[in-house]
Amino acid sequence: QVQLVESGGGLVQAGGSLRLSCAASGRTFSSYAMGWFRQAPGKEREFVARINKSGGVTSYTHSVKGRFTISRDNPKNTVYLQMDSLKPEDTAVYYCAADVGNRGQTNPLDYDYWGQGTQVTVSS
């Protein structure tokens, strides 16, 4: 079992920054990959970023490349999403997710555990 708790969401103006955190507990944090997803009203949940278990490999959806950075601190059992140059289209509920099988990439079905989500709202 893995428990995930996100924090750091909020309201920010376009061009601003936010850093999301996701604290994990349960299984050994350094044994599984982590991802960030988001879901806007009326839309499907979409992949944002992923980091492998050691933190050495990351991947991003095209729309956030160069603006968002995923990182992890394994001794602190925490994964982060630094979001810069935010745009109104980034507005969504953001979820962190754990891929304990280390098998997936962008498909939400490959992730086994999810946090409750944190709202990010970017005003124009």
pLDDT in tens, 12-30: 999 999 999 999 999 999 9
pLDDT for 19-64, tens place per residue?
999 999 999 999 999 999 999 999 999 999 999 999 999 999 999 9
State the pLDDT at residue 2.
97
pLDDT higher than 80, residue 104: no
* 33-to-11, 15, 88, 90, 102 alpha-carbon distances in Å: 28, 29, 28, 23, 6
Give the amino acid at 103. Answer: R
pLDDT higher than 80, residue 3: yes
SS3 96: strand
pLDDT higher than 90, residue 103: no
The C-alpha atoms of residue 98 and residue 36 are separated, in whole angstroms, by 9
Query: Is 48 exposed, middle or buried (CB count within 10 Å of its CB: 0-12, 13-18, 19+)?
Result: buried
Q: What is the Cα Rg of the chain in Å?
A: 13
Which residue from 124, 19, 24, 18 is spatially nearest to 74, judged by alpha carbons? 24
Q: Which two tokens stand for residue 55?
A: 């933190």
